[in-house]
Structure 1
Amino acid sequence: MDFFMQYLFLTLITMIASVYVLQKRGTKTLPPGSFGWPLVGETYQFLFIKIEHFIQERVNKYSSEIFRTSILGEPTVVLCGPGANKFVSTNETKLVEVWYMKTQRRLFNIPDRTHGAKPKPKPKQEAASAAPVKSLGILKPEGIARYMGNMIESTIHQHFMTHWAGKTEVKVYPLVKAFSLTLVCQFFLGLDKPILATEFDNLHSGIYSVPVNFPGSTYRRALKAAAAIREEIQFQIKEKIDAFSKGQVVDDLLAHVVGSEQGGKYVPKMAISNIIMGLMNSSYIPIAINLAFMIKHIGQRPDIYQKIVSEHADVTKSKGSGTALDWDSMQKLKYTWAVAQETMRLYPTAPGVFREVLTDITYEGYTIPKGWKIFWALVGTNKNPNYFPEPESFDPSRFEGNNFPAPYTWIPFGAGPRSCPGKDYVRFVVLSFIHVLVSKFKWEAILPDEKVSGVLIPTPTEGIPIRLHPH
């Protein structure tokens, strides 16, 4: 208890001193807001109130798209809106740089950083970098189509044959989760069957959790899950090396990274496993959520269903029946992708990212001090009626032709040099899945008013049951 009181006292003194020093600088003013309770700040509200509500309450209160708070023990400024999106994305590495929460650092073995200090340089052979993954052509549109196009469509057909054929009703969300994990394991690891489903679920849940490591906690389960996944990827790395030694050809992403390493671009195996685990995590649940809610809304709107069916029939006619979609075909599915984008707007899976301030920043007349954190709210515009009229309605026409949102008003994959490297993978998988689905079934949503749970990640409470009508 004495230690707690001392820690509380020191925290209060530090916060008061930082505000006093900043105010003594003259014209510089902190953004409006509150640091909340001592020690905990507004962490509870951030983690356990829907992120849109957390942001909108404070935007309304302070009449500003910039406000200060305290999250996870860090003085933090929340930025949202088109101006903020442009400001952060165009100032990466100049004024701000990526910062990871403690949960992310521990789960993915990311080195600790303090107050903008660069991590100590590591020997060249130990440096961990995602650059070899990003530079691989397999993650580019043409690479996905070339290496994985047939595999993705084959997996989709097998999925429908196993889980949908002969059924009159199915619950979409658990099925598309199973499909997404199957595809992730094939695409990234070259495995025919999904593995570690519970572990990937626990890992995903643990990222936005309170980093308290005690039995039964979400964070403890995530730590165990990360260790198990990392161990499996390490095993798969050995398998790839063995396959190369025997002259075998393998085309999954892990094999390409290992092959790059063997070609002289050294990346330590632990770094490879962390990178691959991160990519698998970010590709698994988000695709399942997007597909599930997309299928629900198509099943509620015959007008949307008919337009999608017509568009896919035209593509099938031009490419030939039985031929997998290529990237040129994807470009013709403009309306289907507009439906996917509207789904992402209403059900975002990436609420925002953190950045650390490298030097005192002046933004909108306020000063953001060096060393503070920025929560860049990627969803800050999604349901703002200033940018999306009638924001709660499902209207794919927002993303068609001249109606497309103005720059920086909608950025589901981020923006700038650190935008999501898997955005083309997401597009390819989602469009391929819907392409096969509409060729096999017509469907209708059984619970159009089904509740959506989840604070940071939307989850359908009943799994999105639909009624199937095979063609």
Structure 2
Amino acid sequence: MILFLQSLLLFLITFVMYIYIRHQRKLDSTKTLPPGSFGWPLVGETYQILFYKIEQFIQDKQKRYSSEIFKTKLLGESTVVLSGSSANKFVSMSEPKLVKVWYLKTQCMLFNLENQTHAAPKHAAIAAAPVKILGFLKPEGLVRYMGNKIESIIDQHFMTHWVGKTELKVYPLVKTFSLTLAYHFYLGIDEPNHIAKFDSKFDSLYYGIYSVPLHLPGTTFYRAMKAATAIRKEIQFLINENIDALSKGLVIDESLLAHIVGAEKDGKYVPKIEISNIIMGLMNSSYTSIAITLAFMIKHIGLRPDIYQKILSEHDGITKSKGAGTKLDWNSIQKMKYTWAVAQETMRLYPTAPGVFREAVTDITYEGFTIPKGWKIFWAISGTNKNPKYFPDPESFDPSRFEGNVPAPFTYIPWGAGLRSCPGQDYTRFVIINFIHNLVTKFRWEVIVTDVKVSGSIAPIPTEGIPICLHHL
């Protein structure tokens, strides 16, 4: 019996591989497909991006096939990976005529979109509408609604976690700060104990997006689904609180949630489930990315006295011109060009968004190859970051790359480009510069472990948290 089952299994595996290879050869004979490999039948090469660094996976494939385009199979989908400045320009300018947004199955399930098609779920358009109407993520909105709050939040953060310390680990603390600020800004919540309960839940949600969608206890995706359910339930509870307060004529806190709920008065109705998905998505995308950028930025400032002094001089100049204790307005933030250059160089070396997915809506000809209709496109937006063609000596930390002669168009696009570029770039700049402003005017520091180990297959995570010695000014 056992021998029969083994023989049957071997036959089935052989049959599946035969059908797969035959299908691919037939496809290859009719279209000039990009170079590359689909990997194993069914599973493709998904395991390589889930268990290794996606950056290394792309680099290895580029060396073997092409630096601009290659094919693979990811998460069960025939996929073309596009990278380089020409690819950045092509994809960003091809939507919606040639390509459309495509979401991973995990994204659809985590954000309660399992009954939507993968192509441009209905919530995407709804999500964009209230944010655009309210201008909440625009500079004037950020300064208006966060100008006073962010100073007090940062002060409280430093008093609680930094003041009185001589040694600390940066990454866990900036994660706490980033989530605290997100709760204030997006939800109007300022209770530390309440926020702390959701720290691990947002981590689980973040890592669940790039995981195998197996909803089984103990898996990364299972934890992510539980986290998403808890976060969504919490946001919907807050929605009901806001609605109740508005019905009683009470003044509610200035937050994105409150403004989206309040927009109903003007006929801009957004269903509760959509509101929770909008807020959860915005918090998920900003929370970890800001923490990672701040952590590695603080590391490099601590390792380079020349960078520290130049940043300190820039911030002292702003303080003297505006007066001590004066909050930073958007004009002040724009003047801090060197600080932002340091942030940009940090994001170049430690990208938190390796790429995004699109789908070909028709057969596409690119670089002499055909991308068949229905195939998925992984647009490697960070694929140019360490290309010596665009950034000489790419592994060195050099903020001057972003001073004066800035990178050529489409060679550096941390926010994406085109119709769907990230709406949170001004929020990121506002938060990072405010935090660094307060940090350098209160402390100086040295990095204890200079050779910081980096883990994480999708986003770079400082394994040891970046321990520093802290000195109070």
Query: How does the TM-score come out when normalised to structure 1?
Result: 0.94
Residue 168 of structure 1, aligned match among 163, 166, 169 = 166
Structure 1 residue 61 corresponds to structure 2 residue 103: no
Displacement of 1:12: 5.8
Please give the residue correspondences for 1:120-139 in structure 2 after superposition, counting only pairs within 5 Å. Answer: 128-139=126-137
Deviations 1:230-263 (Å, cap 9, x if unpaired)?
A: 0000000011112212321421000011111232
Who is 2:387 aligned against? 384
Within 2, Cα distance between the matches of 1:321 and 1:441? 16
5+ residue gaps, structure 1, are none
Within 1, Cα distance between the matches of 2:316 and 2:125? 49
The answer on whether the counterparts of 1:299 and 1:305 sit within 8 Å (CA) in structure 2 is yes
Displacement of 1:129: 4.0
Please give the residue correspondences for 1:257-406 in structure 2 after superposition, counting only pairs within 5 Å. Answer: 257-402=260-405, 404-406=406-408
Within 2, Cα distance between the matches of 1:274 and 1:389? 41
Where 2:136 maps in the other structure, the secondary structure is helix
The residue identity in structure 2 corresponding to 1:134 is K
More displaced stretch, 293-302 vs 48-57: 48-57
Displacement of 1:112: 5.3
Residue 416 of structure 1, aligned match among 415, 418, 422 = 418
More displaced stretch, 224-233 vs 196-205: 196-205
The answer on whether the counterparts of 2:16 and 2:41 sit within 8 Å (CA) in structure 1 is no
The residue identity in structure 2 corresponding to 1:285 is T
Assess, with a 3 A threshold, how the Cα gap between structure 1 residues 47 and 8 changes in structure 2: closer, same or farther. farther
Who is 2:184 aligned against? 186
Who is 1:13 aligned against? 19
Percent of aligned pairs sharing the same letter: 68
The residue identity in structure 2 corresponding to 1:433 is F
The answer on whether the counterparts of 1:115 and 1:371 sit within 8 Å (CA) in structure 2 is no
Assess, with a 3 A threshold, how the Cα gap between structure 1 residues 318 and 19 changes in structure 2: closer, same or farther. farther
Assess, with a 3 A threshold, how the Cα gap between structure 1 residues 165 and 359 changes in structure 2: closer, same or farther. same
Within 2, Cα distance between the matches of 1:246 and 1:434? 41
Who is 2:81 aligned against? 78
Residue 44 of structure 1, aligned match among 44, 47, 58 = 47
Within 1, Cα distance between the matches of 2:253 and 2:464? 39
Please give the residue correspondences for 1:98-177 in structure 2 after superposition, counting only pairs within 5 Å. Answer: 98-111=101-114, 128-177=126-175
The answer on whether the counterparts of 1:359 and 1:369 sit within 8 Å (CA) in structure 2 is yes
The residue identity in structure 1 corresponding to 2:42 is L
Structure 1 residue 235 corresponds to structure 2 residue 229: no
Question: How well do the aligned residues superpose, as a CA RMSD in angstroms?
Answer: 2.1
* Corresponding residue pairs, total: 462
Assess, with a 3 A threshold, how the Cα gap between structure 1 residues 96 and 12 changes in structure 2: closer, same or farther. farther
Query: How does the TM-score come out when normalised to structure 2?
Result: 0.93
Deviations 1:211-235 (Å, cap 9, x if unpaired)?
A: 1111111100000000000000000
The residue identity in structure 2 corresponding to 1:344 is M
The answer on whether the counterparts of 1:200 and 1:225 sit within 8 Å (CA) in structure 2 is yes
Assess, with a 3 A threshold, how the Cα gap between structure 1 residues 434 and 111 changes in structure 2: closer, same or farther. same
Deviations 1:173-198 (Å, cap 9, x if unpaired)?
A: 00000011100000000001225111
Deviations 1:269-319 (Å, cap 9, x if unpaired)?
A: 001101110000011110000000100100000000000000001111122
The residue identity in structure 2 corresponding to 1:110 is L
The answer on whether the counterparts of 2:242 and 2:252 sit within 8 Å (CA) in structure 1 is no
The answer on whether the counterparts of 1:283 and 1:426 sit within 8 Å (CA) in structure 2 is yes
Within 1, Cα distance between the matches of 2:376 and 2:68? 16
Within 2, Cα distance between the matches of 1:95 and 1:4? 42
Residue 200 of structure 1, aligned match among 177, 202, 206 = 202
The answer on whether the counterparts of 2:102 and 2:118 sit within 8 Å (CA) in structure 1 is no
Displacement of 1:10: 5.9
Where 1:75 maps in the other structure, the secondary structure is strand
Displacement of 1:7: 9.1
Displacement of 1:20: 1.3
The answer on whether the counterparts of 2:246 and 2:252 sit within 8 Å (CA) in structure 1 is yes
Displacement of 1:136: 1.8
Within 2, Cα distance between the matches of 1:170 and 1:458? 20
Assess, with a 3 A threshold, how the Cα gap between structure 1 residues 8 and 317 changes in structure 2: closer, same or farther. farther
Assess, with a 3 A threshold, how the Cα gap between structure 1 residues 98 and 15 changes in structure 2: closer, same or farther. farther
The answer on whether the counterparts of 1:127 and 1:268 sit within 8 Å (CA) in structure 2 is no
Within 2, Cα distance between the matches of 1:231 and 1:414? 31
Within 1, Cα distance between the matches of 2:131 and 2:18? 44
Within 2, Cα distance between the matches of 1:167 and 1:419? 40
The residue identity in structure 2 corresponding to 1:318 is S
Deviations 1:426-470 (Å, cap 9, x if unpaired)?
A: 000000000000110011111111211111111111111111111
Assess, with a 3 A threshold, how the Cα gap between structure 1 residues 338 and 313 changes in structure 2: closer, same or farther. same
Within 2, Cα distance between the matches of 1:258 and 1:63? 49
Structure 1 residue 440 corresponds to structure 2 residue 416: no
The answer on whether the counterparts of 2:108 and 2:118 sit within 8 Å (CA) in structure 1 is no
More displaced stretch, 458-467 vs 219-228: 458-467
